[in-house]
Amino acid sequence: MKKIIFATGIIAFMAISCVNKAKNHPYAGKFITETGTIFELREDSTTCIQFADSLQYEGKWSSHRSGDTLEYANIEFAGYPTYYYLKDGKLYRSKREMISGELGEKINYMN
């Protein structure tokens, strides 16, 4: 009986830790790109992308850390989980562009 209570306690602690971790990332919010595309990255890791022609897409996003230096977000589009990369106020189309810092599109958070 003690093992069951202990195991349940550990599972509950892990679940609470994961929920708190998901809400502490710096990318959640609504922003607009230079071309007028509006991205809304929600706290529950879902996203809404609204293009200038009013087309909308619902998807998912996730934050990532590589070592101690590289933190970025991936934004899904059209079923591709790594279609967009978001880092340091710029939106990129590939990881290579993000790492080099070239060809990024500047964004402005709306909230």
Amino acid 16: pLDDT: 44
Amino acid 18: pLDDT: 39
Amino acid 22: pLDDT: 42
Q: Is residue 22 part of a domain?
A: no
Q: pLDDT 10s per residue in the chain (111 long)?
A: 666 655 455 554 444 443 434 445 678 899 999 999 999 999 999 999 999 888 899 999 998 887 776 789 999 998 888 899 999 899 999 999 998 988 899 999 986
Amino acid 102: pLDDT: 85
Q: Is residue 48 part of a domain?
A: yes
Q: Is residue 44 part of a domain?
A: yes
Name residue, tokens 């993000």: 98
Q: Is residue 20 part of a domain?
A: no
> Could you please report the per-residue DSSP string of 31-84?
EEETTS-EEEE-TTSEEEEE-TTS-EEEEEEEEEEETTTEEEEEEEETTEEEEE
Structure tokens that stand for 13 in this block: 């602690």
Give burial (CB, 10 Å; 0-12/13-18/19+) of 83. Answer: middle
Structural domain total, the chain: 1
Q: Is residue 17 part of a domain?
A: no
Q: Is residue 53 part of a domain?
A: yes
Residue 59 domain boundaries: 27-109
Amino acid 64: pLDDT: 87
pTM greater than the 0.75 cutoff: no
Give burial (CB, 10 Å; 0-12/13-18/19+) of 75. Answer: buried
Q: What share of the chain is helix, strand, coil (3-state, %, to 5)?
A: 25, 45, 30
Q: Is residue 3 part of a domain?
A: no
